[in-house]
Chains A and B, each alone.
Chain A
């Protein structure tokens, strides 16, 4: 079946550091890929998405590129802020059932 593997956290960074959160996937067919973010006490919000190979999703300084050859969708940001502290979920979407398959989430803590 479909699955998403993302790096375990927590990830602790100083403000203005470079961020990478790795995500790889296994899917039958050709999925769409997403990063969702969950701030403390809130639901998930879409951060960015890519629907075909080599697409780059970007939002709020975050980027991720759909790499079909390596089945990866790594999240990057050049300079993190304290306000980026949250849990980040990589997810894929396949098929007519529109089921999102999530990774286990990576907690990011950014300190001053």
Chain B
């Protein structure tokens, strides 16, 4: 089944403790991205990757890192999480960049930083 898989689905952590949220897609998509969803703000892009070893900042990159060593994986790293990073996170992938391509989303990771 074609899908984008995120792990974990739920995570509660403490301020400053490094964490990684994994994202994997099995559709051989070139383009991957991370969004955070907050009430009243919709989804905002954190980082994106046009292909392996190519990443760039989205609208809200502060406090986050990503890497794209393999085509299928695009982990999101929070080196020192803070409470304002409590949010619902979505990974998404598309066959390629461009104007007409549909994005496929993972099921989300609900992160709470205390």
Contact = CB atoms under 8 A, between A and B. Distances in A.
Interface of A: 4, 31-32, 34, 36, 41-46, 49, 51, 89, 93-100, 102-105
Given A45-B105, A98-B48, A99-B58, A89 B42 contact: yes
Given A51-B100, A103-B42, A97 B105 contact: no
B67 interface: no
Interface residues of B, number: 29
Nearest to A92: B99
A32 B98 CA distance: 10
Contacts of A99: 33, 45, 48, 58-59
Interface of B: 4, 31, 33, 35, 40-45, 48, 50, 56, 58-59, 90, 92, 94, 97-103, 105-108
Given A44-B90, A99-B58, A104-B41, A31 B105 contact: no
A97 B43 contact: no
Q: For A4, A32, A34, which residue has the most chain B Cβ atoms within 10 angstroms?
A: A32
Contacts of A94: 99
B98 A102 contact: no
